[in-house]
Amino acid sequence: MSDIFQTTAQHEYQRSAAQLKGSKDANSALEKSYARYDNLIATAFADATNKPACKAGCAFCCYYKVEARAHEILLIKNYMGKNFSAEKITAILKQAADNAEIIRTITPEQHLTTNLKCALLENNQCTIYPVRPFRCRNFHSTDALACEASFNNPADMEIATGMIEDVAILADAHTQGFEAATEQTGRDNRIYDFNTALLEVFADDQPLKRHQRGKKTFQQAIEVIS
């Protein structure tokens, strides 16, 4: 493990653990962590010789299998409640339900090779971009044509979309630093399927209450076992 990885992860762990300590929920700490992440990665991209091919309107990766932590789902619900109409939330949950129906009939391996439009994608734009999960933030590509080829041939796992190694290292380190802080402060750090967790978090207020007690946040959503 490189020095830059360890330094970045430790720095984020210390900052996040201090902000999570004593807080009722993780929303504020997570938003601050996202802001630090965005600054870190923007600097890394600027310093990199190679540049990402990602740009607004390119959404091939928004059909990939998505996983998220409970605190990420809870922050997304909070964001949607503040920014979306009831009608828009209903439409999003309908798309998530359609996705979940498919996901529950296939294996995790099959899910990796199945294109499913993210329920939060609208006109090829992420509607929750400021609070998108780390899993989404961490993805980038240096080859848009490879992304398109992967989208058109989802079963071909040999297609390499390219990445900037230094950026990927920093992104992973920051993410792991925050996740270690959530675990250290007694919060549910399980990984959940995004669609099924999104449905459950909108069903009632029990997920938030369980999360605040340090319990397993989602009872019906698919838990991803790594």
pLDDT tens, position by position, 107-164: 999 999 999 999 999 999 999 999 999 999 999 999 999 999 999 999 999 999 999 9
Q: Give the pairing type, strands 121-122 and 125-126.
A: antiparallel
Query: What is the predicted pLDDT for the residue at 118?
Result: 98
Mean pLDDT along residues 65-83:
97
Amino acid sitting at position 62? C
Overall pTM surpassing 0.85 (yes/no): yes
Q: What are phi and psi for residue 151, nearest 5 degrees?
A: -65, -45
Give the pLDDT band of residue 1 (cuts 50, 70, 90).
low
Q: How many residues does the chain have?
A: 226
Q: What digits encode the pLDDT tens for the residues 90-121?
A: 999 999 999 999 999 999 999 999 999 999 99
Q: What is the dihedral of CA 42, 47, 51, 54, to 10 degrees?
A: 0
C-alpha 114/C-alpha 36 separation (Å) is: 33
Provide CB contacts within 8 A for 87, sequence distance 6+: none
C-alpha 188/C-alpha 138 separation (Å) is: 21
